Amino acid sequence: MRIFKLRFNTPIHIGNGVLTGTSVSICADTLFSALCCEAVKIGKLDALKNGVLVLSDCFPFIDDEYYIPKPMMNLEIAEDVDKKQMRALEFISLSVLGEQIDPEFEKGIVDELWIKTVRQNLDSKGDPFFIASFHFKRGGLYFLTEGQEALMDELVHMLQFTGIGGKRSSGFGKFTYEIADAADFDFSKKSDEYVTLSTCMAKTDELENALVGAKYLLKKRGGYVASFNYADRFLKKRDFYSFASGSVFQNKFEGDIFDVSQNGNHPVWRYAKPLFLAV
């Protein structure tokens, strides 16, 4: 398992349904789609899709401190902590997993990582619109990956110049990166419950077993197909529901890469494989 640590040198916009809003993490399916676009350029889409590849969502990091989504389970907190603070907490540092958590401290550090701005741009007709973005004051975003190392090295090298997220044509989402070992993450540990570090979905024949004792949030995933060969106009992908990262499961599942095309000239792949960490 390796870690790609992305340090952004331009603002980044990660869509959450409205231009004036932006997320602060990138779902694994969005990352995979971006990698697919780079793979098409060099004729290696089939190699990317058909090979064994593990991806996490992209989460914040500071130096060697990695943050993960707050698991959807009862976590140990001090008696005098306001439970509203715990509910509002989106990420926790990996180092406090299994320890007593101070949500005010954790949120304070994460909130200091970036600055959100909303600025006015002009569309192709010269009409104004507003778009939200953020830039990092410290650290950046990281993702975990395993498999197809040579291909991933090639694709991420290309992607840093293309950018990731929305409004890349306006210069958003450019980054530099470094590769680190994932020794801080113990994926060999066994537990009664596991948190998924990737936006994912079980296959049809896995779903019933996966839901036993699960604590999860479903996210509607959509968007437009970023391919000029798909149709003579931009078409939407088929809506797809995924388990949000941070969902907790008693029973692991394999997941899949699903075809979400509709009325187009070729398949459109949505990555939905889980990456489980014992909690």
Kind and range of the H or E run holding 28: helix 28-41
**pLDDT at 125 (0 to 100):** 73
Judge whether 237 and 224 are in contact, CB under 8 Å: yes
pLDDT tens track for 136-150: 888 899 999 999 999
Residue 230: band (very low, low, confident or very high) from pLDDT cuts 50, 70, 90: low
**pLDDT at residue 233, rounded to an integer:** 60
Q: How many CB atoms lie within 10 A of CB 275?
A: 24
Least-confidence region, from 65-74, 200-209, 227-236: 227-236
pTM: 0.88
Q: HSE of 221 in the Cβ direction (CA atoms, 13 Å)?
A: 25
Domain count for the chain, please give it: 1
Q: Is residue 216 over pLDDT 90?
A: yes
Percentage helix, strand, coil for the chain under 3-state DSSP, each rounded to 5 = 20, 30, 45
Give dist(CA 18, CA 16) in Å, integer.
6
pLDDT for 197: 97
- What token pair was written down for 105? 């401290």
Q: What confidence score (pLDDT) does residue 21 get?
A: 52
Q: Domain of 130?
A: 2-278
> Model confidence at 111, in pLDDT bands (50, 70, 90)?
confident
Q: Is pLDDT above 80 for 263?
A: no
Task: Find, among 21, 16, 20, the residue nearest to 129 by Cα.
Answer: 20
Q: Does 50 score more than 90 pLDDT? A: no
Alpha-carbon span 209 to 214, nearest angstrom = 9
CA distance 140 to 154: 21
Q: Closest by alpha carbon to 142, among 107, 104, 182? A: 182
Residue 237 has pLDDT above 80, yes or no: no
Distance CA 69, CA 144 (A): 14
Q: What average pLDDT does the segment 111-138 reach?
A: 73
pLDDT (tens digit, 9 = 90+) per residue, 144-170? 999 999 999 999 999 999 998 777 777
pLDDT reading at 225 higher than 80 = no
Average pLDDT over residues 194-210: 96
pLDDT at 202: 97
- pLDDT tier at 2, thresholds 50, 70, 90: very high
Can you tell me the distance from the alpha carbon of 56 to that of 66, in angstroms, rounded to the nearest whole number? 13
- Looking at residue 1, what is its pLDDT? 93
